[in-house]
Chain A
Amino acid sequence: MKRNIPLAICLLFGIVMMVQFFVPHPASVAFYDLTTKWVRIVGAFALVLGTGSLVLYHVDKLQRRRPGWYYSIVTLAAAAITTVIGLGWGVKPGRPLQDVIFTSFLVPLNASMFAILAFYMASAAYRAFRARTREAALLLVAAFIVMLGMVPIGAAIWGKLPDIAEWVLSVPNMAAKRAILFGVALGGIATALKVILGIERGWLGGGKQ
Chain B
Amino acid sequence: MISLLILLLAAGQIAPPDTGPAVPAPPAPPAAVRAFDTPNDAGKSITLRWSADTLARSLLIERTGPDSTTIIATTEPGETGYLDEQVMDRVRYTYRIAAVGDGDTVWSASTAEVSSTPQLFNTNRINILIAMVIFFVMVIYFIETAKRGRSLFVRRIAGLDAVEEAVGRATEMGRPIVYVPGLGSVADIATIASLNILGEVAKKTAQYDSALLVPNRDPIVYTVAREMVKESYTKAGRPDAFRNDSVFFVTDQQFAYAAAVDGLMVREKPATNFFLGMFWAESLILAETGAQTGAIQIAGTDSVFQLPFFITACDYTLIGEELYAASAYLSREPLLLGSLKGQDYGKMIILAIVVIGSALLLLSRTPSLAFFGRILDFFNVS
Residues of A within 8 A of B (CB): 18, 21-26, 28-29, 39, 42-43, 46-51, 53-54, 56-57, 60-61, 67-68, 71, 106, 109-110, 113-114, 116-117, 120-121, 123-125, 127-128, 177, 180-184, 186-195, 197, 199-200, 202-207
Contact = CB atoms under 8 A, between A and B. Distances in A.
Interface residues of B, number: 89
B136 A22 contact: no
A193 B256 contact: no
A49 B227 CA distance: 13
Given A67-B268, A193-B339, A206-B234, A113 B319 contact: no
Interface of B: 40-43, 118-122, 125, 128-129, 132, 135-136, 139-140, 143, 185-187, 189-190, 192-193, 195-196, 199, 216, 218-220, 222-224, 226-228, 230-231, 234, 244-245, 248-256, 258-259, 263, 267-268, 281-282, 284-285, 287-289, 291-292, 302, 304, 307, 309, 311-313, 319-321, 323-325, 327, 335-336, 339-340, 342-343, 346-347, 350
22 contacts: A21-B125, A21-B128, A22-B129, A49-B249, A50-B216, A51-B249, A54-B248, A54-B249, A54-B250, A110-B256, A113-B255, A120-B288, A183-B321, A187-B302, A187-B343, A190-B346, A199-B339, A200-B327, A202-B199, A205-B226, A205-B231, A207-B227
Contacts of A117: 281, 284-285
Contacts of A191: 189, 192-193, 324
Contact of A124 (B216, B304, B309, B340): B309
Contacts of B224: 203, 205
Given A25-B42, A127-B312, A202-B228, A120 B343 contact: no
Contacts of B193: 187, 191
Given A26-B118, A39-B187, A54-B250, A205 B230 contact: yes
A106 B253 contact: yes
B256 A109 contact: yes
Given A109-B255, A184-B320, A199-B143, A24 B119 contact: yes
A195 B346 CA distance: 18
B274 to A, nearest CB: 16
B304 A180 contact: yes
Contacts of A42: 220
Nearest to A51: B249
Given A190-B324, A193-B139, A56 B189 contact: no
B5 to A, nearest CB: 75
Given A21-B125, A184-B302, A43 B325 contact: no
Given A47-B252, A57-B249, A186-B343, 10 more contacts: A25-B42, A25-B119, A26-B43, A50-B252, A109-B255, A110-B255, A117-B284, A187-B189, A191-B189, A202-B199
B302 A24 contact: no
Contact of B263 (A47, A49, A68, A120): A68
